[in-house]
Chain A
Amino acid sequence: MGIFEAILLTIITAATPLVIAALGELVVERSGVLNLGVEGMMIIGAATGFAVAVITGSTLLGVLAAIGAGMALAAIFGLLALGLAANQVATGLALTILGLGLSGLIGAGFIGAKRDPMAKIVVPWLSDIPIVGKVFFAQDPIVYFSVVLALGVWWFLFKSRAGLVLRAVGESHGSAHSLGLPVLRIRFIAVLFGGACAGLAGAYLSLAYTPFWSPGMTAGRGWIALAIVVFASWLPFRAVIGAYLFGGVTILQLHAQARGWPVPSQVMSALPYLATIIVLVVISGVRRGGTQAPASLGVPFVPDR
């Protein structure tokens, strides 16, 4: 396996959870809701997914359980931030704290347990093409799914009527309400979708990326996914590009260690976080004056009958 191929493969595995979590949060934010609890939903997905997969021996059940766990946390967020119009920033933080705690409880019995990583779907012949064969035609199902998800989210948001409604709710919940649209119901569904995506992203971490559970294994990826949404100007394909850029920064660390670069490992570990800050500054600076953020983002809505 050539070095180029190896780098591409590691970028894909590092980027896939970011792609999925960012796309989920993108839909949530397009509906006008800021859920800062991605990190919490992601890690509960990682813990639940791994625990269920170990108990049942089925990767599929693990993935489904992770999605369910992410949605359950998202539902709590929805009840509070939508049903009770609580401060979305604070509610999202509470979700992250709760998710980190619960994941520790769920995962406690599974530290040290090992599984084989998720089986890859190898397309015959095509995967034998030099360099790109393995990259495009021998990935695990979630990687393929992330591509489908990106296409699906794009189609939904910009080509379907339901997507138009969702965006209208995110831009001006007052107007949408006047038109008779069920603002809170639409937002709740969007929040559940975000939770499902974050849970799936977590499952990818514990079932495919590193096939074991370790506490705190999301290591801020949920927060980076939030930054990617800003970076992407709330556009799905840019979110994919952003996720792959961050994936590239993340794996620099591995390759630097493998090559024995004379840089402290902590500097390499800090790169994704520093890159996030730099990207946010550049993107925000470029857009000074006009922002592409949904106009009602983060504003609680209480319907006045």
Chain B
Amino acid sequence: MRLVLERRADRPTWLVVASPLIAVALTLVAGAILFALLGKNPVAALTAYFIDPLSDGWALQELSVKATPLILIGVGLILCYLSNNWNIGAEGQLVMGAIFGGSVALATHGVPNGPWVLPVMLAAGALGGMLLALVPAILKTRFGANEILTSLMLVYVAELTLDYLVRGPWRDPKGFNFPQSVSFEPEATVPLLVGGGRAHIGFLIALVAVVVAAIVMARTLKGFEIRLVGEAPRAARFAGFDDRRTTWFVFAVSGALAGLAGILEVAGPMGQLQPTVSPGYGFTAIIVAFLGRLNPIGALIAGLFLALTFIGGENAQIMMRIPLDVTRVFQGLLLFFVLACDTFILYRLAVVRQETAA
């Protein structure tokens, strides 16, 4: 008697909706076991992780702050993954956005400027991310170089570039030798949603990105093209779609969104450039894309949930001295369970009684 996968005749709708929820539930169970192994009370730990951060207004604001980059990047990655373009270098594109946008803030620092500074910064950030993302896209279409590896290698290059700039030419001369830039002027920082909090208008930009992407994917020819290139590249070519252009398009869009996330982070919660501008949003956004079932609205929900793991991780570290690495373990486990549950949308497990060749 063995278990084998058997293709389902249909895709049950309830399962499509339920599978990410089941994945989250399994992650929580695995998390409870992990906490028990670490010698912590699982119930208290899970509460510190997933309930406490939701219990007051300040924490809800923080949730929107952390979810903003995750949603922005996740939406862009969805376009890439649907068209079978494996951009996994969003972290680097985020950093490049911070560098490009930050350069505008530093160039206008201390000189008369106006309300145009912030829009220019955001545009420059998006441009920086887009340019870095176009490198693997062009290397893929022109030379056939594997975009997974090239986009990932550029993450290290972008991070080292930022490190050099912040420790070298862009260091604040009055900053007591700390590796950080000057604090941005008010014109160069992102307006807050409510006075005295941390939530900023970046979250609204992320919501706009979700809506636009949802409409593009569901209602436009471009959305159809992206899906078709991913699912049936030959058919797409017969239909007259240029798959190279699709590759450039999805990389450019996802890079721009990651760059935008980067400059929003720098001009928002941070307010200056530092050697590290992200706790790995670009990588976590990969999980956002999959947990959201490669659907922009799904990415919105998934982005909020993964933002919770970041805040919960910090909370659990402070409250229960649980190492911050648990957050990464959670995120890795979550992606595993999401992928496992996705299999059962297409297949069911069947029991085979007779022994046949595998």
Instruction: Type the 1/0 row for A65-86, where 1 means its CB is closer than 8 Å to any CB of B.
Output: 0000000000010001000111
Interface size classification for chain B: 35 or more
CA gap between A90 and B335 in the complex, in Å = 8
List residues of chain B with CB within 8 A of the CB of A269: 156, 160
Q: Chain A at the B interface: mostly helix, strand, loop or mixed?
A: helix
Query: Is residue B333 contacting chain A, with contact meaning CB distance below 8 A?
Result: yes
**Which residue of B287, B325, B336, B357 is within 8 Å of A108 (Cβ)?**
B325
* A114-122, A123-131, A190-198, A277-285 - the one binding chain B: A277-285
Query: Is residue A296 contacting chain B, with contact meaning CB distance below 8 A?
Result: no
Given A90-B290, A280-B145, A108:B323 Cβ within 8 A: yes
Contact A97 B335 (CB under 8 A): yes
Contact A281 B358 (CB under 8 A): no
Given A85-B347, A281-B145, A305-B356, A266:B329 Cβ within 8 A: no
CA gap between A305 and B156 in the complex, in Å = 46
Contact A227 B149 (CB under 8 A): yes
List residues of chain A with CB within 8 A of the CB of B148: 36, 89
Most buried by B among A85, A93, A95: A93
Q: Which of B17-38 contact A (CB under 8 A)?
A: 38
List residues of chain B with CB within 8 A of the CB of A108: 323, 325
Contact A86 B328 (CB under 8 A): no
List the A residue with the shortest CB-CB distance to B290: A90
User: In the complex, what's the smallest C-beta–C-beta distance from A296 to chain B, in angstroms?
Assistant: 16
Given A94-B335, A182-B357, A264:B86 Cβ within 8 A: no
Contact B139 A277 (CB under 8 A): yes
Contact B4 A305 (CB under 8 A): yes
Contact B323 A105 (CB under 8 A): yes
**Which residue of A215, A280, A302 is within 8 Å of B139 (Cβ)?**
A280
Query: Is residue B301 contacting chain A, with contact meaning CB distance below 8 A?
Result: no
CA gap between A215 and B328 in the complex, in Å = 13
User: In the complex, what's the smallest C-beta–C-beta distance from A213 to chain B, in angstroms?
Assistant: 13
Contact A280 B149 (CB under 8 A): yes
Contact B329 A270 (CB under 8 A): no
Query: Is residue A100 contacting chain B, with contact meaning CB distance below 8 A?
Result: yes
**Which residue of B146, B164, B325, B328 is within 8 Å of A267 (Cβ)?**
B164
Contact B336 A87 (CB under 8 A): no
User: In the complex, what's the smallest C-beta–C-beta distance from A23 to chain B, in angstroms?
Assistant: 18
Instruction: Type the 1/0 row for B80-116, where 1 means its CB is closer than 8 Å to any CB of A.
Output: 0000001010000000000000000000000000000
Q: Which of B134-149 contact A (CB under 8 A)?
A: 139, 142-146, 148-149
List residues of chain B with CB within 8 A of the CB of A80: 336, 339-340
List the A residue with the shortest CB-CB distance to B88: A93
Query: Is residue A19 contacting chain B, with contact meaning CB distance below 8 A?
Result: no
The count of residues in chain A whose C-beta lies closer than 8 Å to any C-beta of chain B is: 57
Query: Is residue B44 contacting chain A, with contact meaning CB distance below 8 A?
Result: no
List the A residue with the shortest CB-CB distance to B150: A277
Contact A287 B326 (CB under 8 A): no
Query: Is residue A204 contacting chain B, with contact meaning CB distance below 8 A?
Result: no
Query: Is residue B331 contacting chain A, with contact meaning CB distance below 8 A?
Result: yes
Query: Is residue A185 contacting chain B, with contact meaning CB distance below 8 A?
Result: yes
Contact B144 A94 (CB under 8 A): no
Q: Which of A94-153 contact B (CB under 8 A)?
A: 94-105, 108
Contact B323 A284 (CB under 8 A): no
Most buried by A among B145, B148, B157: B145
Query: Is residue B318 contacting chain A, with contact meaning CB distance below 8 A?
Result: no
User: In the complex, what's the smallest C-beta–C-beta distance from A177 to chain B, in angstroms?
Assistant: 8
User: In the complex, what's the smallest C-beta–C-beta distance from B350 to chain A, in angstroms?
Assistant: 9
Contact A86 B339 (CB under 8 A): yes
List residues of chain A with CB within 8 A of the CB of B146: 227, 230, 280, 284
Contact A97 B342 (CB under 8 A): no
List residues of chain B with CB within 8 A of the CB of A280: 139, 145-146, 149-150
In the complex, the 8 A-B pairs of residues with the closest C-beta atoms, listed nearest first: A98-B332, A101-B328, A104-B325, A101-B329, A94-B335, A97-B332, A266-B164, A86-B339
Interchain residue pairs with CB less than 8 A apart (16) = A76-B336, A86-B342, A97-B287, A97-B335, A98-B333, A103-B325, A104-B324, A105-B326, A182-B357, A182-B358, A220-B156, A223-B149, A266-B161, A270-B160, A274-B153, A285-B144
A94-B287, A184-B358 are known; give 17 further A-B pairs, CB within 8 A: A86-B343, A89-B86, A90-B286, A97-B283, A98-B329, A98-B335, A100-B325, A104-B328, A264-B164, A266-B164, A267-B160, A270-B161, A277-B153, A280-B146, A284-B139, A284-B143, A303-B358
